[in-house]
Structure 1
Amino acid sequence: MKVTGSRFSKVSSSRISAALAATALTLTLVSCGAGDSVGHDAVAIGGQFEFVSPGGQQVIDYAPADRKPVGKVFGESLEDPKKEISLDDFKDQIVVLNAWGQWCAPCRSESDDLQAVQEKMDAEGIGTILGINVRDNVRQAPIDFVKDNGITYPSIYDPAFVNAGALGGIPASVIPTTIILDKQHRPAKVFLREIDEKTLMDAVNKVKAEA
């Protein structure tokens, strides 16, 4: 059968469109995880804490003697723009910071694990999870996600992720990121990947035991 030029053009166009769509999906998935963006030894200083990821590690521990407090973390409440939330609101408490977006599949997947940890932390009175909602330019989308999934811990609405600077240069391209702060609000452990309930709760209990 003879293949006309117009038919060939249509087939080629379809293949190119499919390839571009696959490429876009790949880029989206990479941006949601650690990808190659943690492949460096150090990043910018923010506040007093300087984030360091030797060899691009995705889980980093900081011994008590090596810890320094993060800078000022604050912003509008996700659900109430008239209310400001600050890390200072949780003085002398363990705080688990979680940078997330409702557009991010790993963030959506780990949300029930984070909520389970929040409920355990509430029961023991040891602290809270504090979300930092990033890259959600349409505010209602993450608000609906929080309500639909029964998430009770607060989140700061920070679409530009300006708080990344206060976190010692934590790579803003890595979403989700979870940081366990001790009672002095110094990073004890950093996860540059999706987290599960057991791993997070074990890490929180380890920080709790330090006191």
Structure 2
Amino acid sequence: MQLNRRSFLGLTLAGSATFLAACAQEEGASQNAVAVGGTFQFHSPGGETIIRYEESERQPVGNFGGPSLMDQTQEIQLSDFAGQVVVLNAWGQWCAPCRAEVDDLQLAHEELQKQGGTVLGINVRDYQPEIAQDFKTDNGVTYPSVYDPPFKSALALGGVPTSVIPTTIVLDRQHRPATVFLQAVTFDEIMDAVRPVLEEQA
């Protein structure tokens, strides 16, 4: 269902977050992820878990980045993917829905790479990175993930709820949210959201 962003600007995240399905969240020590806020502000109308934004209504997210999950001597920034459609996926290996959707995200990544896009993971709440690394290796996941246990990246993403994991955000080529999924996603759902964005003019 397509929703007009203007119709729910007055709704608060706090009032709707209780309606959102999520894995459990734990607090932990700060990590090296950094985020710079953009102009996008997240709102969930009436607890909807799929939110779409018309092209004329979109606002850019801020840049964020941090160490690569697989090699923490390397940094990954959203700005590394300038001009590309990016499917952001906040995930943790501890989260059952995240584990269920990983094959679909990998297939979407392989398809997106052919068309000027990528999946970019944000690994959250995994304070033992080796476990998350093993999960990626065991599942043949090739798309990159920023290692961000406290989910500091949420600041750059307009305040998406850090308690809702998994969260998937389809960013257009200007890195503006086109669709936000506050639920596990399938390959078909991802591609249905991505295809019209790929067809938009850069």
TM range (shorter): 0.7 to 0.9
Q: Give, in angstroms, the shift of residue 142 of structure 1.
A: 0.4
Gapped regions of structure 2 (runs ≥ 5): 1-20, 25-36
From 72, 84, 89, the equivalent of 2:80 is: 89
From 30, 33, 45, the equivalent of 1:54 is: 45
C-alpha separation in 2, matches of 1:86 and 1:173: 23
Structure 1 match to 2:197: 207
Q: Give, in angstroms, the shift of residue 169 of structure 1.
A: 0.3
Q: Give, in angstroms, the shift of residue 202 of structure 1.
A: 1.3
TM-score normalized by the length of structure 2: 0.81
Q: How many residues align?
A: 169
Gapped regions of structure 1 (runs ≥ 5): 1-29, 34-45
Q: Percent identity?
A: 57
Instruction: State the one-letter code of the partner of 1:57.
Output: E
Structure 2 match to 1:133: 123
Structure 1 match to 2:170: 180
1:80-122 deviation digits (Å, cap 9, x = unpaired): 1110000000010000000000000000000000000011111
Does residue 111 in structure 1 map to residue 102 in structure 2?
yes
* Secondary structure class of the residue paired with 2:161: coil
* Secondary structure class of the residue paired with 2:114: helix
* Secondary structure class of the residue paired with 1:167: coil
Larger % of helix: which?
A: 1
C-alpha separation in 2, matches of 1:76 and 1:52: 28
TM-score normalized by the length of structure 1: 0.78
CA contact (8 A) 2:49 2:181 kept: yes
Which runs of structure 1 show a deviation greater than 2 angstroms over 4 or more consecutive aligned residues?
A: none
Instruction: State the one-letter code of the partner of 1:67.
Output: R
* Secondary structure class of the residue paired with 2:70: coil
C-alpha separation in 2, matches of 1:121 and 1:114: 10
Q: Give, in angstroms, the shift of residue 209 of structure 1.
A: 1.7
* Secondary structure class of the residue paired with 1:164: helix
* Secondary structure class of the residue paired with 1:65: helix
Does residue 146 in structure 1 map to residue 136 in structure 2?
yes
